Structures are given as C-alpha cells and as structure tokens.
Amino acid sequence: MVGVYLLEGLLVGGLGLAVGLWVGTHIARLMGRTRTFLDPAILAAPSPSAGSGFGAGSGLVAGELTPVLSPTAVIYALMGVGLALLALLLPAYLTSAYTIVTMRWRQARALLAPLWQRAYLDVLLLLPVLYGWYQLRQQGNITLGSGGRDPFANPLLFLVPILFCFALALLALRFFPWLMNGLAWLAEKLPGTTLLLTLRQLARAAAQYTGPLLLLTLTLSLASFTASMAVTFDAHLASQIYYQVGADLNLAELGENTEQTGQSPGGLGQPAAPTAANENEPRWLFLPVSDHLLVEGVQAAARVGEYTAVASIGGRQQSGRILGIDRIDFAPVAFYRPDFAGNESLGGLMNRLAVQPDHLLVSREFLARNSLQVGDPLRLTIGAAGEFADAPFTIAGPLDLFPTQYPQDGPFFVANLDYLHQALGGAFPYNVWLQTDTAVTTGQIIDGVRQLGFTVVTAQDARARILQEQTRPERQGLFGLLSVGFLAAAVLTVLGFLVYAVVSFHQRAIQLGMLRAIGFSVGQMAAYLAGEQALLIAAGVGLGTGLGVWASRLFIPFLQIGVGKTAVTPPFVVQIAWEQLAVIYVLFAAMFILATLILIALAARMRVFEAVKLGEAV
C-alpha cells in the first residue's frame, strides 16, 4: 500500500515539479512589477499611463525582472516535493495498520483526540510565542538577523507573529467541541431537529472537522496579519515621506533681494553686508503666492517659512526651529495626522493660531521640560537670513509632531508667518508647499512656476520619492510574495474545502442514508448540510479574523525598525486590511454557496437502499 502511494506521489510530484518551476518563473516576473500590496500591476503589465496609489500618473513604472532558475531554487522545489511525499505517505502508513474493526470504530466516532492535542503541542507552541513577545517588549522592535536596519531584508522577522496565529489556532480547536456542545444544549430548547442534529454532529465528531477548520482559521489569521502588515507598511511609507516633504510638492524659492553688492553668491538670502539701497525699502520682494494657482496641476499653495528659534528660560538657552505658516492656506496642502497633536484636527490647531497673531504651538516635550502650560507667555529670538529679532508669544497648544519637524533635533514651534515677518521687519525667504494633480508631472509644474517669474532653487516631490521607495528590489520581493501568498492561500483553501465537502459526503453516505430512511426530507437534508457548512465556515472565518487582527495590533508596531530619525518618525498606525479581507470573505461566501449546492445535488440523487447496502458492503 505504501509502495502504491509512493509511486503515485512520485508521478504527481514530478509533474508538479516541472510545471511549478515554469509557473514560478512567471510569478517571479509578476512580483517584479509589484509596488504595493495587491497592486493591479501584479496582474497586468504596467504602462506609463497606468498607475495606482501614490505613483499614479507619474509616468514611472517598476523595472522588469528577468528571473533566473538557479540551482538553489531547484533544491527548494525538490524539498517541497519531498515534504509533499511525506505528507502523503505518513497517513497511508498509519491507515495501512487498520483492520476492518478498527476502521469501523474510527468511522463511527473518533474517540481519541489528535496526536498534537494528546501531546499538548498547541500548549508547548505558546512558550516560544510568549518568549518572543517578551523579547519584543524588552527590545522595542524586531531585530532578528537584520541588525534592526530594514524590515524587508529578512522575511523571517515575521516568524513570531505567524507562530502566534498557528499556536492559538491549534489551542482554539480544543474548545470547538465544547462550544458546539453548548450550542446543542441551547438548541434542545428550540423546536425542530435539524439544527440540533447539526450541532451534535459537529460536537461529537469534531475530529472530522479539525482539518478544514484549521485550514480556514490559519488562512484567515495569516491573511489578516500579512494583509494588515502590508497595508500598514504602505501607509507608513506614504506618511514617512510626506512627513519629510510636508506636502505633494515642496518648493524652495527665492524672492528678489533689494540689497546692494556684498551679498554671498547663490545663498538663500544670507548677504555678507546687509545694506539696502533705501533704508525704507524691504530687504526681500516676493510675487504673490496665489500666482502658483495659475500653473496647470497646482490645486492649492501655502507659504511655509522655517527659521531658527532660541528660548531663554531660567537663564538657560534652548535652540530649536520655528515654522511660520499661513493658517488659512496651510490646511488644504499639508500632510497631517490627528495623532500629531493628541488627536486634535489640523483645523483645530489652525483655529488656535487664529485667535491672536502671537499665538504659538509648542512641542509637548519642551512644555513638559520647562513646566509651561497653554496660555503662558514665551519670548523667542527668531533668526532668518542673518537677521535676528525678539518676539513675544502666547502658548496656544501642544504638539507631539508636525510635518518636517523632528523631536530629535530639539524643540520646535509653529506660529503665524506674517507675525514672524512683522517681528523681523519684513518678509524673508520661505518655501511654498503645493497640492498638485497627479495627472501633471512635477517637471511640468516646476517649469510653469519658473515661467511666472519664481526662482525655484530646489524641489521635493513626495510622490516621486514614494514610487522610488516602492521599486526597491527587497520591498518588491516581499510585497510580491505577500500578494501571491495571499491570493494563493485563498484560492487553495477554497479548492481544498470543496474537495473536503464532497469527500466527506461520500464517507458519510451510510449516516446520511439512515437519516433519509428515518424520514428526513430533501429540504431537511439540505438545511442539515448547509447548516453544517455554514457553522464550520463561520467558526473558521470568525476565529481566523480575530486571531489575525489580534496579531496585527500586537506585533505590527514592533516592525518599525531602521536607522535615523526619519525611520521612527512618524510612528506606525496599525491599519487592519478590511478591504483586502473582503476579497476572501466574498470568495468564501461563493465557496459556501457552491459547496452547499453540490451537497444538495448529491443528497437529492441519493438512493437510500443503495447508500445503506453499498455502504455496508464497502
């Protein structure tokens, strides 16, 4: 018997090896087009006019990979075939030891719990999970094998959360019969027998449902975790780069300097000898910022000036940065998250600045270190382009973070730009933050701005940076693997469950035939089979989703690793990938409908005398 299964496994494994290596090269080529999780580019070749996410309309696409079938890949494929053979031969060897008596006994009711339950393997697997979680709490992040530099450098970093889902899924299966017994006890109080028989079947023959239930649970839990991790990484990449840039496009512009000779060449308004042609003339002249709206693709524009700020408190000077903004124009263009200021909206912060011109938003750490509160006065020395001026302020609110400002660089402040320029005695150079249309390229916008007479020194494009980061090979490899794994797990789970439903029906032909013989109608049989499938799928989907969401909230925050202030600012905001999981939910709903229709068709065609007599003869 084992020889028959071995020959069968070698034939199927050899065919699968040949086809799998060919399919694997094409999957690798598709993975090379991946920019984000489940990016449409993975399903179709990208074109300059197509795009998704933040790269849409940029005209840039991921590079085309040319997969090479290496000896290492063949070795891994052979290992996969070997594991498949082992999974095929081990049950065959164990089954070959059965007699007709023990086989009937096993078919009637699985009295013994599975081996992994008798050995408490599910409980033992919790030990490395708890240890890994404890280490993460102590270290603050996952650092296995990558030096804490890049979460995409080593996919094994995600072993702990995956083991967490697997261990808890196994542990939950211990309580599945108890849950079904409890529901069956409640069903006894209700009229009808169909629901009661369904629940008792699930409770008494729980071992028959361990395989499909574990398959559903692991598929949903791992899909929930990996999809949420990928969506969180995608969102964090956008947040990280937009935090650095501040908006879609950040232009450093120079106005016209009215000073006479003596200014430093090419400097951002830092003259060696600040002497103006006329003492009453302003030092700098600027075109109205609203002129940027005349450029095609520019939807909103705001002035943002960043200058030095020195606070003298208790005889001790503290240097930092102050950001001057136009509170009305700033909100439509700037990147902002509510957690930057204790869940207060950007509109609320702008309203705080609108109360009085001298109102100031201050980093929370600075307030705590100097025992300051909202409403306290604060005097700062502002420095811009070689000019310095003392200005009084009133603290209007705290900030934890603010675009382009990093707490690692010292305290930061946000004030009204016009008030800063008034204190400095005139306008000084500033940057212009733009909200732009994705259909217009950055080069076209910059050319249009320059044609209006603006002097653009540098430009920072958030969308271009995001797309450049998305095309990193290690990121493409990980996200491509997660995308392919997500879809493959969903499809294979559906196919596996459908096969299980049909095989299980034939194995239970005697039981189902007896139910028909004692008077069950076709409608009652349909309700019985549909209820069994529905309860099984609902239990697997509910448990799997719950474990996946729990693992996501527990472990994803530890995956924010890297070097430098920009790697950890802003912090992760865990996002559950409900939109991606909806794909699996729809797929499983279709699976339930299809499985139920197949089982009902088989039950309707069942002949009671054949089911019972042939079943006894087998």
- In this predicted model, what pLDDT tens digit does every residue of 71-82 receive, in sequence order? 888 898 999 899
Q: How far is CA 473 from CA 28, 62, 466, 512, 563, in A?
A: 12, 10, 14, 55, 19
Residue 255: per-residue pLDDT:
73
Q: How far is CA 121 from CA 57, 523, 540, in A?
A: 52, 42, 20
Q: Pick 297 or 137 by higher pLDDT.
A: 297
Residue 280: per-residue pLDDT:
58
Beta bridge partners of 313: 316
The average pLDDT across 397-426 equals 90
Report the range of poorest mean pLDDT among 167-181, 187-201, 219-233, 387-401.
Answer: 187-201
Residue 105: per-residue pLDDT:
66
Residue 286: per-residue pLDDT:
81
* pLDDT tens, position by position, 327-336: 899 999 999 9
Residue 109: per-residue pLDDT:
53
Report the range of poorest mean pLDDT among 171-175, 229-233, 439-443, 505-509.
Answer: 505-509
Residue 335: per-residue pLDDT:
93
Residue 281: per-residue pLDDT:
63
Phi, psi of 97 (to 5 degrees): -85, -5
| Burial tier of 587 (Cβ tally within 10 Å: 0-12, 13-18, 19+) | middle
Confidence of residue 9 (pLDDT cuts 50, 70, 90): confident
Give the chain's mean pLDDT: 80
Closest-CA residue to 54 (of 582, 340, 471): 471
The average pLDDT across 480-494 equals 83
* pLDDT tens, position by position, 90-138: 888 877 777 777 666 665 555 556 667 777 887 888 888 888 787 777 7
* pLDDT tens, position by position, 138-166: 766 554 444 445 555 545 556 788 888 88
Give the integer Cα–Cα distance in Å for 561 and 568.
Answer: 7
Q: Pick 423 or 505 by higher pLDDT.
A: 423
DSSP character at residue 398: E
Instruction: Find where tokens 């005697």 sit.
Output: 510
pTM: 0.75
Report the range of poorest mean pLDDT among 96-100, 417-421, 488-492.
Answer: 96-100
Give pairs for 600-606: CB < 8 Å, separation 24+. Answer: 600/522, 600/525, 600/526, 600/529, 600/530, 602/502, 602/505, 603/505, 603/512, 603/516, 603/522, 603/525, 603/526, 603/529, 604/522, 606/509, 606/512, 606/513, 606/516
Cβ atoms < 10 Å from Cβ of 4: 9
Contact 329, 302 (CB under 8 A): yes
Confidence of residue 349 (pLDDT cuts 50, 70, 90): very high
* Residue 269 pLDDT exceeds 70: no
The average pLDDT across 298-314 equals 90
Residue 158: per-residue pLDDT:
65
Q: Quote the tokens at residue 187.
A: 């069903």
* pLDDT tens, position by position, 582-592: 888 888 888 88
Q: How far is CA 440 from CA 55, 77, 562, in A?
A: 12, 46, 33
Residue 278: per-residue pLDDT:
55
The average pLDDT across 26-50 equals 58
